[in-house]
């Protein structure tokens, strides 16, 4: 469910997700559609279509560009972005990973909730200026998943 003022896109097919990526990269995606679900779909799209390095660079840079264009220049959070990239990368290498992009998105939405990150990070740390600008290690508990070959 989207936050108040936000509106979810269907993202029910590979073409829906590709269209999201296209509009997002062109900065024509309405900001009201830039939800947690859209973030996950974009990360998944990049990780399925690009190398790990290219997907990570693309998402890191494009979120900053898109947010500035939409008037949210302070909205990027390096720790949150990289945590979800690491988790999605990990999940894509699990036996239960789904070959269809839209099915994998549904699976990831059940795993990668916003509240999930609070298993590892306190709200004070995850929303700090330091976490927004650089990768921070968790302060609650160590990760219980591995992210091999991650940057």
Domain parsing of the chain, residue ranges: 14-133
Q: What is the model's pLDDT at position 14?
A: 95
Average pLDDT, consecutive stretches of 10 residues, N- to C-terminus, the chain (151 residues): 85 96 96 96 96 93 94 92 94 93 96 95 97 96 79 58
> Of 27, 148, 20, which is closest to residue 91 (Cα–Cα)?
148
Q: What pLDDT, on the 0 to 100 scale, is given for residue 107?
A: 96
The b-or-e profile of 42-73 (16+ CB within 10 A means b, else e) is bbbbbbeeeebeebbebbeebbeebbeeeeee
Residue 63, φ and ψ in degrees, nearest 5? -65, -45
The confidence score (pLDDT) of residue 151 equals 58
Taking the C-alpha atoms of residue 34 and residue 6, their distance in angstroms, rounded to an integer, is: 7
How far the first Cα of the chain sits from its last, in Å, is 31
């Amino acid at each position: 469910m989207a936050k108040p003022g936000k509106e979810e896109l269907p993202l029910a097919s590979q073409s829906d997700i590709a269209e999201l990526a296209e509009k997002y990269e062109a900065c024509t995606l309405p900001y009201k559609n830039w939800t947690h679900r859209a973030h996950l779909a974009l990360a998944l799209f990049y990780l399925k279509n690009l190398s790990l390095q290219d997907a990570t660079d693309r998402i890191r840079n494009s979120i900053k560009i898109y947010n500035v264009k939409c008037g949210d220049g302070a909205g990027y959070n390096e720790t949150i972005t990289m945590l979800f990239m690491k988790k999605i990368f990990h999940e894509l290498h699990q036996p239960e990973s789904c070959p269809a992009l839209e099915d994998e998105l549904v699976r990831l939405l059940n795993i990668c909730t916003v509240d999930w990150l609070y298993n590892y990070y306190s709200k004070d740390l995850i929303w700090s200026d330091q976490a927004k600008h650089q990768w921070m290690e968790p302060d609650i508990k160590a990760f219980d998943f591995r992210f091999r070959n991650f940057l």
